[in-house]
Structure 1
Amino acid sequence: MRIEGGKVAVEMPRSSSRKGRRRKKEAGAPPPAVQRLFETCREVFFGCAAGVVPSPEDVGQLKAVLDDMKPADVGLAQTLPYFLKDNAKGAPPVAYLHLYECDKFSIGIFCLPPSAVIPLHNHPGMTVFSKILFGSMHIKSYDWVDVPQNSVETETTSHSCEIPPKVKLAKLKKNSVFSAPCETSVLYPMAGGNLHCFTAITSCAVLDVLGPPYSDAEGRHCTYYKDFPYSSFSVDKISMAGEEGEHAWLEEIDKPDDFVVVGAKYFGPKIVVQ
């Protein structure tokens, strides 16, 4: 054993090293989990485009791969600096680790310190898989409800006025705390909670697969929203069961100033593209 550049280096006989590599090759060692994830994504999203949902079999296949993934599979530990909450005022920043992106899908990890928030936002034309690798977070999600715009009036003032054009009705899909280990969440272009918000209860990491990814050039913009109780507005000639608590009004807003995402280096196993 010798020291090189302050690091401990262990010397092994060359013949043993070659034999070890040969035994590993002969044994057919499985690829790293992140490589299996990449290859599965490439198969599942090969023939898909915006708004095209993979088959139930393909969705199940990709979900199964993600369900089995652990923090160590992507080189994560809760002691890493981007999971630590500092004492600065305001919402803590969210770190994003980029693993892979092409025109068919993207793979990345959001790292949230305690109390960090990813605001309510949409996923236009996308099928999205979200796997909580560790930690606990509150997830709130909605799907759009089609309501004729001319059938809506406000009840928030004593006189009638037109509803803002960027306010639409949505149905609540999730409003609960989820903790690892738990199943991968899947949302679809028109169902499953396409619009969602994450609030970190503890430090947590979320592995995200988007198919296809956001693309301003192709009209898949990330839009942010603010939700209002269903009682804020009335719907004329529209009958819904269990409106209050099950529906809400979403207003399109600019990206919140206090929502900061910083790019961070991914140190896990590399994805090999062949």
Structure 2
Amino acid sequence: MTVLSKVLYGSMHVKSYDWIEPACSTRSNKPDDFPVTLAKLHMDTVLTAPCPTTVLFPRSGGNLHCFTAVTSCAVLDVLAPPYSEEAGRCCTYYHDYPYSTFTPVSRILVNENEDEYAWLEAIEAPDDLHMRSGRYTGPAVQDHAL
């Protein structure tokens, strides 16, 4: 899916990742032995309104992203197409671990700055998450590229 995000007011911290291609997964070697997958950091910054709209594409642009309010803020997120479990477009939540967490396996995977990589673990949705979704009811969107 493609995501357009616009900070309407206030400030928020944005941290986003893209999956490494080809996919690279390992096990945590902790008591729960949970799977983690390697991702590359795309953005780690604070956005304050007014600021440009960010665009996340299905495989690039930081599609795996986390918003954290720095001040009271509102964000307009437009997802196209929207989440749909029936269509295989689920909303998944992740915990990120520093790249160095899973060694020595991780040491051989990248030759760049380790701070630009993290291991992501799928987790349950946070209990304190609040989203309000709505359906676009405006005029039909025309695709002139066809």
Instruction: Determine helix, strand or coil for the equivalent of 1:231.
Output: helix
How far apart are the structure 1 equivalents of 2:52 and 2:84?
A: 28
Give yes or no for contact 2:3–2:56 (8 Å, CA) kept in 1: yes
Give 1 or 2 for the bigger CA radius of gyration: 1
Q: 2:94 matched to 1:225?
A: yes
Summarize the Cα distance change of 1:218–1:175 in structure 2 as closer, same or farther, 3 Å threshold. same
> Which residue number corresponds to residue 30 of structure 1?
none
> Which residue number corresponds to residue 110 of structure 2?
239
**Letter paired with 1:240:** N
> Which residue number corresponds to residue 259 of structure 1?
129
> Which residue number corresponds to residue 212 of structure 1?
81
How far apart are the structure 2 equivalents of 1:162 and 1:217?
A: 29
Shift, 1:168, TM fit: 0.5
Give deviations 1:123-162, integer Å, cap 9, x for gaps.
Answer: xxx111111111111111111113444xx476x88xxx99
How far apart are the structure 1 equivalents of 2:112 and 2:68?
A: 29
TM-score relative to the length of structure 2? 0.80
How far apart are the structure 2 equivalents of 1:136 and 1:209?
A: 18
Give yes or no for contact 1:141–1:173 (8 Å, CA) kept in 2: yes
**Letter paired with 1:255:** A
Q: 2:19 matched to 1:144?
A: yes
Summarize the Cα distance change of 1:202–1:162 in structure 2 as closer, same or farther, 3 Å threshold. closer
Q: 2:72 matched to 1:203?
A: yes
How far apart are the structure 2 equivalents of 1:206 and 1:219?
A: 25
Q: Percent identity?
A: 53
Q: 2:1 matched to 1:132?
A: no
Point out which structure has higher relative CO (alpha carbons under 8 A, 6+ apart). 2
How far apart are the structure 1 equivalents of 2:37 and 2:128?
A: 24
Give deviations 1:5-60, integer Å, cap 9, x for gaps.
Answer: xxxxxxxxxxxxxxxxxxxxxxxxxxxxxxxxxxxxxxxxxxxxxxxxxxxxxxxx
How far apart are the structure 2 equivalents of 1:132 and 1:208?
A: 9
How far apart are the structure 1 equivalents of 2:59 and 2:133?
A: 31
Instruction: Determine helix, strand or coil for the equivalent of 2:100.
Output: helix
Give deviations 1:220-250, integer Å, cap 9, x for gaps.
Answer: 000100011111013264233111x111111
Gaps of 5+ in 1: 1-125
Shift, 1:214, TM fit: 0.6
> Which residue number corresponds to residue 177 of structure 1?
46
TM-score relative to the length of structure 1? 0.44
How far apart are the structure 2 equivalents of 1:237 and 1:148?
A: 11
Gaps of 5+ in 2: 141-146
Compute the RMSD of aligned alpha carbons.
2.7
**Letter paired with 1:129:** L
Instruction: Determine helix, strand or coil for the equivalent of 2:110.
Output: coil
Shift, 1:207, TM fit: 1.6
Moved over 3 A (4+): 146-149, 270-274
Summarize the Cα distance change of 1:148–1:182 in structure 2 as closer, same or farther, 3 Å threshold. closer
Instruction: Determine helix, strand or coil for the equivalent of 2:87.
Output: coil
Shift, 1:273, TM fit: 4.2
Q: As a proportion of its length, which structure holds more strand?
A: 2
